[in-house]
């Protein structure tokens, strides 16, 4: 998968997953959090700075967990088309996680130690 179009692939595949009837509430929660995180990232990388750190950390952990769940589904499925779908979806999540990490580190927030409820945005003077 071309990493420059991961966002379009992620949106398409997450919509497909969301249509499945047998999704667990946990997976739905992880998917919604991941969509929220990546949407903010894609709208404006600086937008991540206005999100409270605890929310970013929670969404990021859920995105990592979603990635692990999708990789597990890829391993368990026997259907080759499903394997390809899960592999592509996992790659798009992984690319989104990488881009999120990079955006946060470029803005200096990755090394910032914040208190709960405090945003990653520096105080305005």
Residue 119, SS3 per DSSP = strand
Distance CA 102, CA 64 (A): 15
pLDDT 10s digits, 60-94: 999 999 999 999 999 999 999 999 999 999 999 99
pLDDT band at 125 (very low <50, low <70, confident <90, very high): very low
Examine the pLDDT at 103 and tell me if it is beyond 80. Answer: yes
User: What pLDDT is recorded for position 116?
Assistant: 41
Of 42, 33, 88, 40, which Cα lies nearest the Cα of 65?
A: 33
What pTM was computed for the model?
Answer: 0.81
Q: What is the CA radius of gyration of the chain?
A: 15
Average confidence score pLDDT of the chain = 84
User: For residue 45, what are its two tokens?
Assistant: 């990388």
């Amino acid at each position: 998968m071309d990493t420059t179009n991961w966002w379009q692939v992620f949106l398409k595949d997450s919509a497909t997953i969301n249509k499945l009837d047998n999704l667990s509430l946990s997976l739905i929660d992880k998917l919604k959090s991941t969509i929220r995180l990546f949407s903010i990232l894609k709208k404006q990388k600086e937008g991540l700075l206005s999100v409270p750190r605890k929310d970013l950390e929670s969404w990021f952990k859920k995105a990592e967990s979603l990635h692990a769940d999708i990789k597990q589904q890829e391993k368990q499925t026997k259907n080759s088309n499903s394997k390809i779908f899960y592999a592509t979806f996992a790659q798009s999540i992984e690319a989104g996680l990488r881009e999120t990490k990079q955006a946060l580190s470029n803005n200096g927030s990755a090394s910032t130690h914040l208190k709960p409820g405090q945003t990653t945005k520096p105080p305005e003077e």
